[in-house]
Amino acid sequence: MVNVKEVPADEFVRALAEYLKHEVRQVRPPEWALFAKTGPHKEKVPEDPDWWYIRAASIMRKLYIAGRPIGIERLRTVYGGLKDRGSAPPHFCKAGGSHIRKILQQLERAGLVMKKDKKGRVLTPKGYSIMDKIAKEVFDSVVQRIPELRKYGGGSGR
């Protein structure tokens, strides 16, 4: 069986973002999302109008790969970056926590993520199921483009 770790991350995140945008009603960007930066290390707001769904998909992928509870502070560190300080050397800054918190709350309401003993959040069985299904679809689309990869598919080419 093909899982999330075996497909290209960028294609998987785009496919999961499309799924969240069209199938999951609880995940919607708030009104302020069009005007908010994702952290103090950024100069502008995201240019992609679907950045909320892409970030939600990326967070779900991080939860899948970790396999253990992950909190907001750890996700802030993951999505942080270097702040340009002009002629001074750049310093690392964590990403903003508000959008990460709101995304996780929306994913909880959708039943895809749950809190785990005040240690962070993990995927629910429903979340794992959806992600494995999308990973299979992404793998099949990659195999359509590159048929030599069929031998690596869990059960599809053996």
Strand partners, 91: 83
Q: What are the residue ranges of helices labelled H in the chain?
A: 9-23, 51-66, 72-78, 98-109, 125-145
Predicted confidence at residue 153, as pLDDT, reads: 64
Instruction: Name, in order, each residue with C-beta under 8 angstroms of 81's C-beta and a sequence gap of 6 or more.
Output: 39, 41, 42, 92, 93, 95
| pLDDT tops 50 at residue 114 | yes
Predicted confidence at residue 146, as pLDDT, reads: 84
| pLDDT tops 90 at residue 1 | no
- Higher pLDDT: 61 or 118? It is 61
d(CA 113, CA 93): 26
- Angle (CA) 140 59 125, round 5°: 70
Predicted confidence at residue 157, as pLDDT, reads: 39
d(CA 142, CA 157): 13
Q: Where are the domains of the chain?
A: 4-152
d(CA 134, CA 98): 27
Place of tokens 């009603």: 25
| pLDDT tops 60 at residue 4 | yes
Cα atoms in the 13 Å half-sphere on the side-chain side of 55: 28
Token pair belonging to 57 = 């998909």
What's the chain's average pLDDT?
92
Token pair belonging to 104 = 């996780």
Predicted confidence at residue 56, as pLDDT, reads: 96
- For 44-102, write each residue's pLDDT tens digit: 999 999 999 999 999 999 999 998 999 999 999 999 999 999 999 999 999 999 999 99
- Higher pLDDT: 118 or 95? It is 95
Class of domain 4-152: mainly alpha
